[in-house]
Amino acid sequence: MRTRSTFSISFWISTSRRSDGTAKIYARITVDSQRVNMSLKYTIPAESWDRKGSRVLGRTTEAQEINAYLMEVETELFQCYRELRSKTTHITPQMVKAKYFGEDENHMTLTSLFEYHNLHGAHNLGKATLSHYKTTQKYLLGYLKKHYKRDDYRLSQLNHQFVVGFETYLRKLHPIHHHGRLSNNGAMKHIQRLRKMVRMAVNNEWIEKYPFQKFKIRMEKKERDFLTLGELRKIQDFQTKIERLQIVKDLFVFSCYTGIAYCDIMNLNEDNLVLGIDGKHWISTKRQKTKNSFKLPLLGPALSIVKRYHYHPKRSTDKLFPKISNQKLNSYLKEIADSCHIKKHITFHMARHTFATTITLSNGVPIETVSKILGHSELATTQIYARVLDKKISEDMSGLESILTSKLSDSIDDSEKFGNSVF
């Protein structure tokens, strides 16, 4: 990771659009190969400029005055750069120029914030998550062009009105490869990402006012769909001679009995298959999304699928399963669902919901255990997947009724015994 930047100042002249033999003097500020020019408001005869020394030739009073001014500008620009360096490691030539002219004590913009975030925050984000951030950044630039007629925006100008305007823009947006407008939660996720990046700017003291102070992100609670045990059994019993459908079915069932996400299944190799403390086969790996480690013993159906693909011709030697894209998986799952007469819109991620709900929580597995298996950082994340089925509620309440009936019966017997002994 780069911690130091390269900085240089040079002077040059421009004769563009001038036919009288004169030229304007400019200063060029360069930081890490990025550069910006600034006019010094001096016009001189073009032949009096020393290109090699970047100074005015001659000993006239005017020449000496201009050269002294150039030295002064150079010194002040270096001072501006040093002061910025004392506050942040991310400096742009625009920031140096703005500080020199006193236009803005901090000239950080949205695009420079994006660059900083993607450079210094990438190591904490998965590939897919970073891609989502870049989509948010693309939408922000689209918002700037449409509503502000500009390509960039100073962080110091961010306010509540800007955030509300971005929300309105997102709600009217029709993204490419999308069935319609963004959902409420889709729009809120983009605003959450903007909020995180702006919080980074606040922590780095690039801005003083926090524009999200009065803005509330409102996420709509949605039920996560899952397969019932009967529906899962239909898919397990599904038979086909079409190899691609058989592979997809097995991968989906494996995920239903393990809760492992698509990207993590594709990364599983022989080293991830270990013997647990109980002497049984376990999966031990890390979630690609959160980098959290997790272990789980393989239930019978999942272990059978692993063994079935041990010598499969389409399996890479270093992976447990054949590789297939998530897009194709979801497409082929629709074929399988239709063949099994399942009306639900099945996606591969539904297997993870099925594991959390149908396989574990509804069968009495504690939510803390499920959270650990799923590789979640917080229990609250697991609670999004978890829901208590009507069948489980009925079983629990029936059990409670039996306990209460028994206790009430014992209480009556004790009361009668006590009453007979006294009276």
For the segment 102-126, what is each residue's pLDDT rounded down to a tens digit?
765 556 789 989 988 988 877 778 7
Same domain membership, residue 355 and residue 252: yes
Q: What percent of the chain has pLDDT over 70?
A: 91
The number of domains in the chain is: 4
Q: Which of 66-70, 264-268, 406-410 has the lowest mean pLDDT?
A: 406-410
Q: Which of 258-272, 281-295, 347-361 has the lowest mean pLDDT?
A: 281-295
Same domain membership, residue 344 and residue 286: yes
Q: What integer is the mean pLDDT of 48-55?
A: 92
Domain range for 174: 110-203
Same domain membership, residue 356 and residue 288: yes
Would you say residue 185 lies in a domain? yes
Q: What percent of the chain has pLDDT over 90?
A: 51
- Looking at residue 2, its pLDDT comes to 46
pLDDT tens digits, residue range 29-44?
999 888 999 999 889 9
- Looking at residue 179, its pLDDT comes to 61
Residue where a domain terminates, one of 69, 101, 133? 101
- Looking at residue 423, its pLDDT comes to 38
- pTM (global) more than 0.75: no
- Looking at residue 334, its pLDDT comes to 95
Same domain membership, residue 334 and residue 274: yes
- Looking at residue 177, its pLDDT comes to 63
Q: What integer is the mean pLDDT of 318-347?
A: 93
Contacts of residue 265, defined as CB under 8 A and 6 or more positions apart, other chains included, come to: 251, 254, 255, 320, 321
Would you say residue 356 lies in a domain? yes
Same domain membership, residue 155 and residue 63: no
Q: What integer is the mean pLDDT of 72-96?
A: 87
Would you say residue 220 lies in a domain? no
Same domain membership, residue 176 and residue 54: no
Would you say residue 208 lies in a domain? no
Q: Which of 1-5, 49-53, 302-306 has the lowest mean pLDDT?
A: 1-5
- Looking at residue 373, its pLDDT comes to 85
Is residue 382 very low, low, confident or very high in pLDDT (cuts 50, 70, 90)? Answer: confident
Residue where a domain terminates, one of 101, 121, 137? 101
Greatest alpha-carbon span in the chain: 130
- Looking at residue 335, its pLDDT comes to 95
- Residue 258, pLDDT above cutoff 90: yes
pLDDT tens digits, residue range 118-158?
888 777 787 778 889 999 999 999 999 999 888 888 888 89
- Looking at residue 389, its pLDDT comes to 57
Same domain membership, residue 74 and residue 129: no
- Looking at residue 422, its pLDDT comes to 39
- Looking at residue 1, its pLDDT comes to 41
Q: What integer is the mean pLDDT of 14-21?
A: 81
More confident residue, 106 or 265: 265
Same domain membership, residue 331 and residue 249: yes
Domain containing 314 — which CATH number? 1.10.443.10
Would you say residue 416 lies in a domain? yes
Contacts of residue 28, defined as CB under 8 A and 6 or more positions apart, other chains included, come to: 9, 10, 11, 12, 35, 36, 37, 38
Would you say residue 216 lies in a domain? no
Would you say residue 38 lies in a domain? yes
Would you say residue 223 lies in a domain? no
Same domain membership, residue 378 and residue 419: no
Residue where a domain terminates, one of 158, 186, 203? 203
Is residue 174 very low, low, confident or very high in pLDDT (cuts 50, 70, 90)? Answer: confident
- Looking at residue 413, its pLDDT comes to 59
More confident residue, 395 or 326: 326
Same domain membership, residue 81 and residue 52: yes
pLDDT tens digits, residue range 197-232?
999 999 888 887 899 999 999 988 777 789 999 999
Same domain membership, residue 134 and residue 74: no
Same domain membership, residue 145 and residue 70: no
Give the strands of the sheet with 293-297, arranged side by side: 273-275, 281-286, 293-297
